Every structure is written in C-alpha cells, then in structure tokens.
Chain A
Amino acid sequence: MTVCFDEMKGEDGNLRATYEGLDAWLRDLSPDVLDQRCQEAEFLFRRIGITFNVYGEADATERLIPFDVIPRIIAADEWKRLERGLTQRVKAINLYLKDIYGRREILRKGLIPEDLVFQNQVFRPEMNGQKVPHDIYIHIAGIDIVRVAADTFYVLEDNVRTPSGVSYMLENREIMMRLFPDLFSRYRVAPVENYPDELLATLRSVAPDTAAAEPNVVLLSPGIYNSAYFEHSFLADKLGIELVEGRDLMVKGGVVSMRTTEGPKRVDVIYRRVDDDFLDPLSFRPDSTLGVPGLMSAYHAGNVTLANAVGTGIADDKAIYSYMPEIVKFYLGEEPILQNVPTWRCREPDHLAYVLEHLPELVVKEVHGSGGYGMLIGPMADKGKLAAFRTRIEADPKNYIAQPTLALSTCPTWVDRGVAPRHIDLRPFVLTGSDTVRIVPGGLTRVALQRGSLVVNSSQGGGTKDTWVLDV
C-alpha cells in the first residue's frame, strides 16, 4: 500500500512539532499505567452510560464505542484553514438548498443533472417553494474530513440531515481531562465544553419571527430505541431544554405546542433527531408514530423552525457530493478551500468504464448508503466479492460512485499494550445561526482500530479519540 501520512511522524518519519509533547509523555509513561488508565476510561464511559446501538445485531443492543486514550492533535494554523473551509462549504450548501427548493438556478444552468435531484428520494417535493425561517436549512452539520498529506484534507461526506457524534466529542474531552491532567499541562488545548452554549445560541437565533423574545427550544427524539438516544438525552440535558417525543407535541391552529403540567406551551424551535420520513404522518409515512401529526402545516405556516430543515438530504446524497466543488463556485464565486475526494460517477458511461476497469483499486459506494454499509473496498476484496460487486454495478450503474482508495492519515493509537498507527478521520460540527457560523475547535476523531482497516464507522468496529486543537 501507499505510504500514509502519520499525524505524529509525517510522511518521512520525523516527529512533527505538534506531537513533541505527546511523544515525550508517551515515553515517560509505562505500559502498565496506560493500560490501567484505559480501564479507568472504560469504567467511566460505562458509568456515564455512553453506548450506542448497532442495527441488526440482536445480541448487542447496546455497545460501548471503544475509546482510545491517545489524543489526535491539530495545530492552530491547520485548524484555521479547516475552519475557513468548513464555513465556506456549509454556507454554499445552505444557498444550494434554498435554490433547489426555490428558483432552481443551478439546474437551469445545467450544472447538476435534473434527474439526480427530482428522481432522488431525498429530494422532498413537500419543501418546494416553502420558505424556512432565516433561509437556513442546515443548522447543524457534521462534515467528515480525512487527511491524505500534510496539506491535503478531503471532505469525505457532508452529513447535513441529523448528524450525531457530538456527545462523544464532549465526553471524550471530559474523560481525558480527568485521566491525564498532566498531558493537558504540556499543551494549550482549545476548549470544546462551550458546544452546548453555542448550539443553544444557534437554535435560538433561528426562531421564527412570530416566536416570543425567549424562544422555546426542544429536542425531538424518536425515543429510547434509537441508536443515538443517549446523545439526545445528553444534549437536551446540557442545553437545558426539554427532551420530547412526538406524542409530547401537538399542532393546533398552525402552531406547535408541548404538553406541560401547566397546560400547552408553544414551541418555537425543534432540534429534531427524527428523520424526515417519520416527522409527520400527515405528510410523510402515514404509519409513523414517532412524529407529530400536522407538524409540516405549522412549518409551512412559518410558526416553527425545524433544525435541520426537511429535505436537506438532497445536499449530502453521495450522488450530489461529487458536484460540491461546482456548488461552492456557483453560489459563492470562490474556489473551494476544502477539496472533494476525486469521484467517478458510474451514471456517466466513461466513468463507469474506468471504474469497472480499475475495480480492485477503488472504493465503491452506494449512492444512498451510509455508515459504511453496502461498500466495496477494492484492495481488501477477494475475487468473488469483486465479481459480485461488478455485477451489481453493471445492473444499476446510477446507484454507485467510486473513489480512489485513500491513504487516510494515521495517528498513534494504544493497541495490545503498545502504540501503533491506526487510520483516522475527523467530524467537526458546524453550527449555522441567523447571526453567525460557529465551529467549536475540534470534533469527533474516529479511528479504525483494526490494523490496516480504513473503515472508521462505529457500526463497523471503529473507535474514537479526543481531538485537540491547539490554541497557538
């Protein structure tokens, strides 16, 4: 395989300045102490109850995401560039969504094929021509970024529906500070603890004009069987807002209210962690019991803000992803600061031919898949799997995109009583309010714990690390 950029040792094996402190600390520490700290970390996570559910695993409804005690460190100047790139990207995505559900200039210019939008299940006709409060569609984005070289960061995926994972960012930091105060004293690490305040400020800023001066914000969860329920209750608690389920809300006269012991109370902003399909049985899936009947009519009347807006999937769909550089240029007139992974669209005959010819080198993804499911990693696949995937692609080329197998950067990770490099990615969370864009320095670093593995998804055995952005 190609040489990977190591966050600690670069491409050439020389210790990078950012990691000098960590390196010295690691060398001072005996494996026994580190092992013991790992056990303490696991104990703490179990006590907090930070677990997640894996769909389709009957025997393990709740599982602990492995936590690695060695932090990933990002230098101040590296972060500044990322921050500018993220802000730019999310601004462009918001403008794109406003356009797609409005004038459709980008389709008229022919920059994105019409069928890719209109025949896409994640395009919601229900949102067409509907104004959303403050023209903001994506209040919370979790943009997945990978690094392939010292100066090359790629956006792997824009998660702009109901991105999760921010609770790990907060918990990982809290536990690291408890376990390794000495390591923190060697660095000036930018804080992430203010994320709940930033999120609340964002959500309040996007309340509809008809809301009271102190808008009422709630978090709508599908309930305890959802894989991210822990995060929902965790965030509601940190934000000091009500955690509600569909049955706690009702719509009357075009206004949403919440049942309380003192009678109904108007709700202005819903931070919803329920998917579009389930939000309102009168507009979407009629069998949904997770949503609020009539919610869309209140939304259309402009009396409630949904964060994120409905129909944002048409921005992070894998088929649309490949057009993101054009989207940034079209709406902002700027060159994208963050690059896309080069992507072949199998819907285009010449791309398809290339993909079929180079299958063993490529990563192939289903356009509508997520979480690492339905994916082919060419270099890891045997002949049988390659042949099976080839048949699937040929049968329905439109459903696939392909990318080069990226040499994701590696970061020192504690495995089997030793430090070894493991592949990582990064999901920073970008908050867009009516006043400003807020990004807490850092995010969620996911790590593929198996040697050589490139799949960092928690549903596929990935772990997490604390992410340090240095202040200077």
Chain B
Amino acid sequence: MRIRVSHRTVYRYDKPLSRVIQTLRLTPRPHDGQHVVRWRIDVSEDCRLEAQDDAFGNVTHAFSADGPVSHLEVLVEGEVETQDTDGIVRGAIERFPPSLYLRETPLTVADPPIRQFARDAVAGREGEIAVLHALLGAVHEAVVFDTDPTHVTTTASEAFGLRRGVCQDLAHVFIAGARSLGIPSRYVGGYLHRSDGVVAQEAGHAWVESWVPELGWVAFDPAHSISATEAYVRVAIGLDYLGAAPVRGTRFGGIGETLEVEVQVDQAFHQVQS
C-alpha cells in the first residue's frame, strides 16, 4: 500500500511567545515492509532543523526560534510504501536487547489491578503469541476508546482505572500488562490508514510492539485488537509515549495558545509511467 501522510500542527498565540524550542520525532525510517518514498518537515519560522538519531534509533529534529512568534506551524508531508508482514517488524534499527523493554516507566507502571487483569486475561494460554493475543483482546475490550477523560500525561494505571482512553492509553495499559508478564514491550507512534475511508484524523496513531523470541518484534494495536498491517506507518519507538512523542517542546512567553492538529492519511495511487 502506498500511504500519503500530511500532518499539520498550528500553534497560535494571543500574546506572542518570546522563544520556542522543540524536538520532533516525526520522520519514519525504513524497515522490512516499509519503504519511505519521500518525506519532509517544514517549520514556518526561519530556523535550522538539526537532525539527530536518538538512543532508540528514531530520527529527531530539533529547532528553536526566537520571538515574537504568534503563529507557528509544523508541517510534515510524505509518502510511504508498505507491505503486510503479519505484524512482524524486521530490519529496523535495534540499539538495545529486548530485555531493556521490560523497564517500567512512570507512565507504564503495572499497578496491582493491571497485574491482576493481565494474569486473568492470559490464564491458560501458552506461548507468547497466544498470551499476547489474549492480552490484546482483553485490553481492547476493557478500555473503551474515548478521547475525553485522558490527556498526554495520563498513566496506564489512571486510564485502566477509568476503563477509558485513547490509543496512547490503550498502548500504555497493554505495555504495562505485557511487561508484568515478563514480555518485553514498547510503544510505537505513527500513522494509520483507516480502512473505512476516513482520511482526516485528529492525531497520529499509537500501538505496541512485543518481543516474541521465535519471531522477533511483533506489532499489536490494542485500539483495534489486531496485529499491525500494511495500513500502519511506523515512525518512532520508545519505552512509553514520552520516548516516542511526536513533539516535545518548551515555550517561553506566549499567552492564549490555541492548537490545531490536522492529520490526513490517504492512499496514494501510483502514477502510470509511460
């Protein structure tokens, strides 16, 4: 599938900000089943984008701009060619052994209810794949998709307590549960081409990769209760949302921020070459 992504973030301020600095994780890398055809990032302010790889191998871009800035726009556009790999991720950059991904982070603490939930969900299942599919179904069922009650700093424990959340929260609950079962798991941020034909989305997508010794890293999407398919564009990984966050930034000054995010994920059709 050839997927076209356009991701526009616009910040507006009533009173302009004096300085802004951001780190972006918005650039996909190729791996088996994912070929980046073209990709670019544009920032409305006149500044240099400094590219660096982070410790997990994600591409990051850092920039800073001095104010007054009352309108800041970050535009990401690109095309990615994907193939279905049954959710198995091969050929990606791996900087750490799987055991690193057993680490708990503040956002993914497996509290006693999550531990209990995970144990119950996989009772009687044997082998990582069966266990992970059982957990996948259970998280999908237990935590209702709801954009209202949670925000970017909501922990797995809080979201699980509410039984509600967005893809980020479902991913955190899954990660906490899987790690509590001794299965290395990590957070994935990226884009999803929706099969229902809806192109405009409010945000990117998030899912999970878990380590299965005989297969390697396998991607699971608790928001849809499936393994990742060719409709998924994988952009960044981390121990949790913070490690893979599309944007981390600090602003100085600036009052009355309004944020507008437009994500469009569409299928791009091959042009006939003559």
Question: Chain A residues in contact with chain B, CB under 8 A?
Answer: 114-115, 118-119, 121, 125-130, 250-254, 281-283, 286, 293-294, 297, 300-301
Residues of B near A254 (CB, < 8 A) are 50, 62
- The answer to whether B100 touches A125, judged by C-beta atoms less than 8 angstroms apart, is yes
**CB <8 Å contact, B55 and A294:** no
* Partner among A114, A125, A297 whose Cβ is within 8 Å of the Cβ of B239: A125
Residues of chain B at interface, number, CB under 8 A: 28
Q: In the complex, are the beta carbons of B102 and A119 less than 8 A apart?
A: yes
Chain B residue at smallest Cβ distance from A130: B55
With A250-B19, A251-B64 in contact, is A297–B50 under 8 Å at CB?
yes
The yes or no answer to B151 lying at the interface (CB within 8 A) is no
The digit string for B60-89, where 1 denotes a CB below 8 A from any CB of A, is 101010100000000000000000000000
CB distance from B105 to the nearest CB of A (A): 9
B249 CB within 8 Å of chain A: yes
Closest chain A CB from B99 CB (angstroms): 5
Q: Is the CB of A301 within 8 A of B50?
A: yes
Given A253-B48, A301-B50, A118 and B21 touching (CB < 8 A)?
A: no
Query: Closest Cβ of chain B: how far from A107's Cβ, in Å?
Result: 9
| Interface contact B95-A297, CB-CB below 8 Å | no
A107 to B160, CA, bound (A): 36
| CA–CA, A294 and B19, complex, Å | 13
A282–B103 CB distance below 8 A: no
Contact with A along B84-113 (1 / 0, CB 8 A): 000000000001110110110000000000
- Report how far A114 CA is from B56 CA in the complex, Å: 18
Task: Decide if A286 touches B23 in the complex (CB within 8 Å).
Answer: no
Say if the beta carbon of B116 comes within 8 Å of chain A: no
A252 and B64 within 8 A (CB): yes
The answer to whether residues A129 and B64 also contact, given A118-B96, A282-B248 and a CB cut-off of 8 A, is no
Separation of A114 and B60 alpha carbons in the complex (Å): 28
**Cβ–Cβ contact B250 & A300, under 8 A:** no
A118-B101 Cα distance, complex, nearest whole Å: 8
Residues of B bordering A, CB below 8 Å: 19, 21-23, 48, 50, 52, 54-56, 60, 62, 64, 66, 95-97, 99-100, 102-103, 153, 239, 242-243, 248-250
Whether A294 lies near B64 (C-beta < 8 A) is yes
CB distance from B115 to the nearest CB of A (A): 14
- A118 interface neighbour in B103, B153, B243, Cβ under 8 Å: B103
Contact indicator A126/B55 (Cβ below 8 Å): yes
Shortest beta-carbon contacts, A-B, top 7 = A293-B250, A118-B100, A128-B55, A297-B62, A125-B55, A282-B248, A294-B21
Residue among A114, A252, A254 with the most chain B CB within 10 A?
A: A252
Are A129 and B250 neighbours in the complex by a CB distance under 8 Å?
no
CB pair B21 A119 closer than 8 Å: no
Contact A129 B55 (CB under 8 A): yes
Q: Is the CB of B103 within 8 A of A128?
A: no
Query: Which residues of B are found within 8 Å of A119, using beta-carbon distances?
Result: 99-100, 102-103
Chain A residues closer than 8 Å to B242, beta-carbon distance: 286
How far is A423 from B130 in the complex, measured between Cα atoms in Å?
59
Q: A254 to B95: give the CA distance in the assembly, Å.
A: 23
Residue contact A294 to B23, C-beta cutoff 8 Å: yes
CA distance A283 to B95 in the complex (A): 17
Bound-complex Cα distance A121 to B106 (A): 11
Whether B97 contacts A118 by the Cβ 8 Å rule is: yes
Instruction: Give, as a whole number of angstroms, the nearest-CB distance from B223 to chain A.
Output: 23
Taking A127-B55, A252-B64 as known contacts, 10 extra A-B pairs with beta carbons closer than 8 A to each other, sorted by chain A number, are: A115-B102, A118-B99, A252-B21, A282-B23, A282-B250, A286-B242, A293-B250, A294-B23, A297-B23, A301-B52
